[in-house]
Structure 1
Amino acid sequence: MQHLYVHVPFCQRRCSYCDFSIAIRKRIPVREYVDVILKEAAAVGDPFDTIYFGGGTPSLLPPEAIARLLSELTSPRRTPHAEREVTIEANPEDVTVDSARSWKAAGINRVSLGAQSFDDTVLKWMHRSHDAARIGAAVHALRGAGIENISLDLIFGLPEELHRDWERDLEMAHALHTTHLSLYGLTVEPRTPLDRWISRGATHAPDEERYAEEYLLAHRRLTADGFAFYEVSNAALPGFRSQHNSAYWSGKPYVGLGPAAHSFDGTTRRWNLRAWEAYRRAIAEGRSAVESEETLTEEQRELEAVYLGLRTVEGIVFTALRRLSPPSAAAVLPPPHLAAQGWLVEHNGRLRCTPEGWLRLDSLINELTMHTETQP
């Protein structure tokens, strides 16, 4: 069994922080897009445990296009819709009573809403097309259509001059009674509008101290509201973890369709051409859309398993660290100062990050792997 990701690259504008592979279009080439996705999918025969429409902006596709894709990508002999998690990412302004009902009828049972903030000034700064009121309207439309599994994306760590009230945003999200939250710290990616603003002094780079304070505040607040962080950026009510994203973090195989989509079979990772036109042309001409691939060595797979495991609340078993050490090394223990500083905890032979540890995950991984290499 595999997990399927379908990349929908189209957007009507680029957000200020975005460096994703997108295609800005006023008119979405719906028929062309659906045809090439299904043509690429023809070579994929395995059934799917989960399906995830990501972007870009999948909610720009007409509901009938989503219905056709799901109809072709699934069949009665595969897992029934009621048992398979099927997610679509949506912008709040695209969610209407009619679109929500159509998605539900097509088999969508989970929606990830790109809310980002409940502050209209912040939303304008981000180049978002919706206002705060649209977020609540979208949630109510989805719930009215029978879709209860609703996630909100929020971005924290914004420049101080925006005067964004992070605690208020968390309160507004809680008031909507959604089942899942994904929290992403603002990062400055090259060649984005945000990068250019910072370069010319129009705004400031995110402050590390503010970033940490807001991340830890979210942990305290969401935990009090009954949510549990099951991954560094994701919190859910009981029973509402993202099955699709959890598959990535556990190293399970997945298939990616569309421009820039990645696939992984457990050993080899492949990725498609990034640009929509290059991807479309390759598929239309009967050529492979794969831009490149890499086959992971055993050491790379083990290191990746440690990194992905420590992203999650389950953490890793100590033997995972031991496998990264030289054959002659003794049993590996984590550096004591990491536990003493409250970044890592050990329980029943497993090692996991605390919220403070998740804030410095990359440096923790480096230190843990260096520690294994220097064991006597």
Structure 2
Amino acid sequence: MASIYIHIPYCKKACYYCNFHFSTTLHSMSEMILSICKEIQLRSTYLPKNEIIESIYFGGGTPSLLNDEQLSEILQTVRNQYNIAENAEVTLEANPDDIQKNKLAFWKSIGINRFSLGVQSFQNEDLVWMNRAHNSQQSLQSIKDIQEAGFENITIDLIYGTPTLSDENWEKNIETAIQLNIPHLSCYALTVEEGTALDKMIAQHKKENTDPDKQARHFEYLMQRLKTAGFDHYEVSNFGKPGFHSRHNSAYWQGKKYIGIGPSAHSFNGNSRQWNIANNAKYIQTLSNNEIPFEIENLTPHQQLEEYIMTSLRTMEGLNLQLITENWGENSVQRIEKLAKKFLDNELMIKQNGYLILTDKGFLLADGIAADFF
């Protein structure tokens, strides 16, 4: 089983915290679509012919801004080149202000069966602070429209730990999602990336910086409340009700193969990782010569083990010690168990049925704990 990610490099309004620079305009999008379709065709041998695609994910950017013909062309090209599972999860990222009833009917007709909606917050003050294009009412209406169109598989993004988001309003955001019967949430602490507009404004004291203590409080409440609401915390940032875990997200954390299509998209086939050039103009120009502009890194056994540690520790299943024995040897397991002792003693991790699993306390420090094993 494998997944395909299609990156659409267009966004009508960049958020302050976004580190992407979308130079593609709607006027030049037709060239980008041709290039993306050509890359799909050229990449048809990246996976074995019998590999089944269980997930197709349109991300970006804002792929919901594509017109009907453009989206259909990409999806049909994928179906022509790959063996798509009959019940494949086909996700479309969208912003609340891009949802229209007539578009919903079309998206459903071409096989879109899951929506990832960039809500970020149900509080208008937060949306203004993040420079989002939509407001809270548009979020509520878009969710209602999606559900009335017959889509059950919906995920929304929420961001916590922003200076404008109080503990009370964070709790309101979560309650709103629960009351709306959203079956999946992806929740992220606001991070200030170097070079973004937000980073510059904080340096100039035009924006308040984030508070790590507040972010920790928000994350702890998030874990507790969603657990009581019937959600599985199946990955550090992802919460899903049974039957609604994202197949696409899970593929990354389970070390499955995936293909990334479009500028800056990454691919992984188990032995190597490759990534496309980020520059849109160069991406289009190179593909016009029937070449894919990418760099590649062949992973050593040691790097493969580190990747497995990093990804597995982010999941509810945890790190499989038997799997490590089979693939990397008994010495690796002994070293990992020795390093794990302090996390077990501090109740950041438990050992259960041959797996090392982070506790809720451990999830707060997941990346740091994983790095300690490297």
Q: Same fold (TM over 0.5)?
A: yes
- Give 1:257 shift: 0.8
Indicate yes or no: 2:62 matched with 1:57.
yes
Partner of 1:116: 120
Q: Is the 8 A contact 1:87 1:110 kept in 2?
A: yes
1:204 aligns with 2:203: no
> Which residue in the other structure is 1:30 paired with?
29
**What is the alpha-carbon distance in structure 1 between the residues aligned to residue 309 and residue 194 of structure 2?**
28
Q: TM-score, normalised by structure 1?
A: 0.91
Change (3 A) 1:328 1:42: closer
Instruction: Identify if the C-alpha distance between structure 1 residues 76 and 188 changes in structure 2 by more than 3 Å, giving closer, same or farther.
Output: closer
Out of 288, 296, 302, the residue aligned to residue 305 of structure 2 is: 302
Corresponding position of 1:373: none
Residue 246 of structure 2 is matched in structure 1 by 242
1:293 paired to 2:296:
yes
1:74: which partner in 2? 79
> Contact between 1:154 and 1:183, CA under 8 Å: does it hold in 2?
yes
Taking the aligned partners of 2:342 and 2:301, their CA distance within structure 1 comes to 29
- Deviation of residue 80 (structure 1)? 5.2
The list of structure 1 runs, each at least 4 consecutive aligned residues, that deviate by more than 6 angstroms after superposition, is none
Q: RMSD across aligned C-alpha pairs, in angstroms?
A: 2.2
SS in structure 2 opposite 1:219?
helix
Q: Which whole-Å CA distance do the structure 2 matches of 1:76 and 1:97 have between them?
A: 31
Question: How much does 1:246 deviate?
Answer: 0.8
Deviation at 1:308, TM superposition (A): 0.4
Q: Structure 1 residue 342 and structure 2 residue 347: aligned?
A: yes
Q: Do the aligned partners of 2:16 and 2:130 also contact (CA within 8 Å) in 1?
A: yes
Gaps of 5+ in 1: 370-376
Matching of residues 139-158 of structure 1 within 5 Å: 139-158=143-162
Shift of 1:157: 1.0
CA distance in 2 between counterparts of 1:108 and 1:123 reads 27
The alignment status of 1:167 with 2:166, answered yes or no, reads no
Shift of 1:84: 0.6
**Residue matched to 1:43:** 42
Question: Residue type matched to 2:276 in 1?
Answer: N
TM-score, normalised to structure 2, is 0.92
State the alpha-carbon separation in 2 of the partners of residues 230 and 200 from structure 1. 39
- 5 Å-filtered alignment, 1:171-320, equals 171-290=175-294, 292-319=295-322
Gaps of at least 5 residues in structure 2 are none
Provide the rounded CA distance (Å) in 2 between the counterparts of 1:281 and 1:76: 22
In structure 2, relative to structure 1, the CA distance for the partners of 1:328 and 1:58 (3 Å cut) is: closer
- SS of alignment partner, residue 83 of structure 2: coil
* Contact 2:324–2:333, Cα closer than 8 Å, also in 1: no
Deviates more, 1:259-268 or 1:15-24: 15-24
Describe the shift of the 1:8–1:176 C-alpha distance in structure 2 as closer, same or farther (beyond 3 A).
same
Between stretches 94-103 and 162-171, larger displacement belongs to: 162-171
Shift of 1:231: 0.2
Give the length in aligned residue pairs. 365
- Percentage identity across paired residues of the two chains: 36
1:273/1:124 Cα in 2 relative to 1: closer, same or farther (>3 Å)?
A: same
Matched-pair contact (CA < 8 Å) for 1:269–1:293: yes
Amino acid at match of 1:251: G
Contact 1:15–1:128 (CA<8 Å) still a contact in 2?
yes
SS of residue in 1 equivalent to 2:371: helix
